[in-house]
Amino acid sequence: MGGFLFDDIIFGPVKSRRLGVSLGVNLLPTDYKFCTFDCIYCECGWSQKATKKIKLPTRGEIYNRLQSVLIQRKNDSQPIDSITFAGNGEPTLHPDFVGIIDDTIQLRNTYFPNAVITVLSNASLIHNQKIIGALLKVDKNILKLDAGSEGTFQKINQPNGNLKLAQVVDYLKKFNGKLIVQALFVQGFNQHSGIDNTSSSEVEAWIELLKEVKPQCVMLYPIERETPENSIRKVDALTLNKIAEQVEKAGFKTEVFS
């Protein structure tokens, strides 16, 4: 399946249950998913082998596009609630991510000082101290943790290279609790075996990892749209709510988006 790619640097705004009126920023190519993971549920589709040099928008282009959209919305009296870094892959892959966050804070403060800045990241590049510093500056630092075991992490997120779940957890711990964890729950199978991060053993192991990471909040999701792996299915609201109850019992605030 092809998946859906954002065709511009700035997209939306979309009305989001968790973020309100959310203006998206895509730091990745518009014709290509560029990510360190290849999640079986990724709405951008499967990662493709690069056949040409990956072209990212420059920091200057991003600044100008964001500024012009913010000015337009200000002039039209159409406020936004969040400037949200998401898009066609992993935003922290952009080599100027740190500077782009500084620019965004400046633009937000100028045009919509009440809006929050949100970054959705898979946490794979958090070994870089500068990226940690940038993520600590944003209002909503939302990082992915879908699995409680190595096998499930590899099956669901399919990270590039040799990245292990324990490394990701170590990266998440570097925020000293100043983060929101988001987790997507899924059931089904791939060509080799079953996939289920909702089983009691998986959920228990995942909650143990949450206890190490100590997030401010945990967001739980099912799949919502077409997925590249077509043998996975949406987890029902009852299952998600039961998992959320366990997370709350462990002492963490939850939000369920079913």
User: Which residues are near ligand SF4 by CB under 6 A?
Assistant: 35, 37-39, 42, 44, 89-90, 122
Q: How far is the CB of 15 from ligand SF4 (least distance, A)?
A: 21
The residue count for the chain: 258
- Residue in 1, 69, 77, 74 with CA at minimum distance from that of residue 41: 1
Question: What are the φ and ψ backbone dihedral angles of 7, each rounded to 5 degrees?
Answer: -100, 20
Q: Which is nearer to ligand SF4, 107 or 147 (CB)?
A: 147
**38 or 202: whose CB is closer to ligand SF4?**
38
Closer residue to ligand SF4 (CB): 35 or 138: 35
Judge whether 230 and 195 are in contact, CB under 8 Å.
no
Beta strands in the chain (DSSP E): 10-16, 20-26, 82-86, 116-121, 140-144, 180-184, 186-189, 194-196, 217-221, 232-234, 253-256
Phi and psi at residue 15, to the nearest 5°: -90, 115
We find the least distance from the C-beta atom of residue 90 to ligand SF4, in angstroms, to be 5
By CB atoms closer than 10 A (0-12, 13-18, 19+), residue 165 is buried
Q: How far is the CB of 248 from ligand SF4 (least distance, A)?
A: 25
- For the bound state, the minimum distance from the C-beta of residue 232 to ligand SF4, rounded and expressed in Å, comes to 13
How does strand 116-121 pair with strand 140-144? parallel
- Is 44 or 147 the residue whose CB approaches ligand SF4 more closely? 44
Q: Which is nearer to ligand SF4, 7 or 204 (CB)?
A: 7
Smallest gap, in angstroms, from Cβ of residue 165 to ligand SF4? 14
